[in-house]
Amino acid sequence: MNKTKALLTLSILTTSVFAQSNKDIDPKLTEFWEPVPEVVTPGPVPSDAIVLFDGTNLDSWTGHDGAAPWTVKNGYMTVAPGKKGISTKQKFCDMQLHIEWRAPEKTPGKKGQQQNNSGVFLQGRYEVQVLDSYENRTYSNGQAGSVYKQSLPLVNAMKPPTHWNTYDIIYKAPRFNDAGKLESKAYVTVLHNGVLVQNHTEIQGGTVYRGNPSYKAHGCAPIFLQDHGNLVSFRNIWVREL
Ligand code: MG
């Protein structure tokens, strides 16, 4: 008997043994009824979500030295170039985040990272890149949907300028022990316009422009949106704490 045939025979035998023995197992043994999942009325905004921006005001946000300075108009907010990024007042750990964003018309003469750049920083440290990556090449681990300078997106699902993009982000925060030592890294899954671009990606540390990422201990922390000097807009931002 050759090896393949032997393995096939073994597989059939194993299957039939399981099929036989499974009949004697009470199916109730593998059913559990407690706890009962909470009822959540689904979208567009799930009933248990915290709305961080509904298009009317920046009350849930703060600037680096006071009120969030970005502009709000027509149901969306836009970066105020040069006035720095904004952070949520509330701190978050594990979460599901929904955020919509839009790049304006292409800026003539600009390319790569300079073509309408912003960013969603999870816990203020880990950037999911926001960039007009529609027909705009840059380093792959710096395009839209990347974990900046760490993990390129699986595909480029970018819509053309002036069209709204969605990010649905599932994030697991890193864990540190009492001494501040890293116990487990952060993980992120990202859907860009419903298309998977990060699949349970292990984050290697804070996302930085120069050098290698590293971890520094922290607790729950705000979501930060970047001012990279470009008129990128955001709307419909909500989060579910996990
Ligand atoms: Mg950026």
pTM: 0.90
Q: How far, in Å, from the CA of 228 to the mean position of ligand 1?
A: 7
Q: How far is the CA of 238 from the centre of ligand 1 (A)?
A: 20
Separation of 242 CA from ligand 1 center, angstroms?
A: 26
Residue 8 lies in a domain: no
For residue 7, report the distance from its CA to the centre of ligand 1, in Å.
52
The structure tokens 């299957």 sit at 15
Q: How far is the CA of 226 from the centre of ligand 1 (A)?
A: 6
Q: How many domains does the chain have?
A: 1
Characterise 216 by phi-psi region: left (phi > 0), alpha (psi -120 to 50), beta (else): beta
* Position 184 pLDDT exceeds 60: yes
Q: Is residue 199 part of a domain?
A: yes
pLDDT in tens, 132-182: 999 999 999 999 999 999 999 999 999 999 999 999 999 999 999 999 999
Distance of CA 60 to the CA centre of its chain: 19
CA of 63 to the centre of ligand 1 (A): 17
For the four alpha carbons of 235, 65, 126 and 50, in that order, the dihedral sign comes to negative
22 part of a folded domain:
no
CB 127 within 8 A of CB 146: no
Residue 22, pLDDT score: 87
In a domain, 146, yes or no: yes
Is residue 105 within 8 A of residue 232, CB to CB? The reply is no
For residue 83, the enclosing domain spans 50-241
- Is 20's pLDDT higher than 90? no
Residue 9: inside a domain: no
pLDDT tops 90 at residue 125? yes
Q: Is residue 60 part of a domain?
A: yes
Please tell me the distance from the alpha carbon of residue 149 to that of residue 59, in angstroms, as a whole number.
32
Question: Residue 10 pLDDT more than 50?
Answer: no
Would you say residue 79 has pLDDT above 90? yes
Q: How far does the centroid of ligand 1 lie from the alpha carbon of residue 46, in Å?
A: 28
**Which CATH number covers residue 145?**
2.60.120.560
